[in-house]
Structure 1
Amino acid sequence: MRSALLAIWQADSGFPNGSFAFSYGIEAIAALRGGFTPEALTALIDTVLRQRWATFDRLFVLRAFAAGDDLPAIGALDRQCDAMNLLAPHRDGSRRNGSSFVASHARLGSDTAIRLRAAIASGDCLGHLPVMQGAVWRALEFDAASAQLASGYVTASGIAAAAVRLGAIGALQAQRALQASLVTIETLIEQGDAAAEPASFVPFIDIAAARHVRADLRLFVN
């Protein structure tokens, strides 16, 4: 019960984790297509969950979770995550989000977050979001399933919220797409291979993110 409540708390969009400034590539995609139907947003969230989150972010959450208090191991995972984030918008966004996430938990008094914040400042860690989530949530006594649920929901809800803020879709239509993603998140967790090598294949998102960097006017950082 406690782990479920912790997951709800961390998945709450009101938690100050820095993600408010990030669109997950949605801003550039919306600029290309002009808006989203509920079906189109559902398909986009599904693609990100299947081809990025489940095969990349989720695995780094789990490995950092398993590392526990081993700061050198967390630092090594952080550097691996950095090396595998080939595009600067994804790489920089992940680090900024992760650093904000850690800073919020440090201000809430988490000893692990305080250590991670110091490690980021010293360069021993880089602060990538999935790595920081796994480490901090383990310290908060999440179980592994709840950590994955929170991570998946934060990803899906972040995409939906960004689309609404951009005016690309209505709030209730976005909620319909988000609701459809819940089954996907559950299935990916149940069927996922925790021992797989991290991989990501979302070329459309990557191209949109690269275009976004050159945009003259941007609401979001990425």
Structure 2
Amino acid sequence: MATALLLALTMMGQAPVAPAATPPSDDYGYVAWCFGALGGYVDLYDQVMPEVTRIEKAFPGPDGVEASLKTYPEMRAQARTDMKIFTAAITAAERASPRPISEYGGAAVKKGRSVWTGADSANKARLAQVWMSWSPPGDCETRAKALEKRSNILGKALIYNAVKPVEPAPEPTVASMPEPEAAPPVEQAAPPEPVMTPAPSPAIEVETAIASPQASTKAEFVIDAADPKPCPGRLEV
């Protein structure tokens, strides 16, 4: 619808913006172009809404003015959601690419935003009419999701096939011996209290006299008849 309106306005010499630039054919460039074009649409919201409101009130739809005006904030919210999807796809593709492609993506974004070139100097009513009828290509979201999925798979394959450098083995470290812990002080036991023992009673010494009987022995003398000898001593009468 936007392309037809732009063509009609161009033929009348009243085209407010540049004709839609042809988006790149590859998915990465195409999604980047969609991001740029949709970003320009969101950025013009505050600028065109006063004129959009005037047009809706002048030409109310079958559901009334309030119902018509309610759709524009919803369209802006949906556009911001779609831009997050495009951003995720672009980021995944740049990470998975073996060579830098962000410069090419940036050029595609600028090409998409060029759809709205001349909006600042265009007639307010004409700009509002184009903005109200514009929408991004229907396959922007589909191609963005497909691009993100392929990029994530490719990124995992690149990580898997990458040769991991061999890291040198860490030098062995000698563990320091812990210092011996001081032995806990030994508590000295208190000396036992002296036990008071009763003094022994004085023993009664008993002297015992042991009498030894006097033994008297008498010497006996035998006279040998073959060799008689005088009897020693004296003869007692």
Structure with larger RCO (C-alpha < 8 A, sep 6+): 1
TM-score norm. by structure 2 comes to 0.25
**Comparing both structures, which one devotes a greater share of its residues to helix?**
1
TM-score norm. by structure 1 comes to 0.26
- Largest Rg, 1 or 2: 2
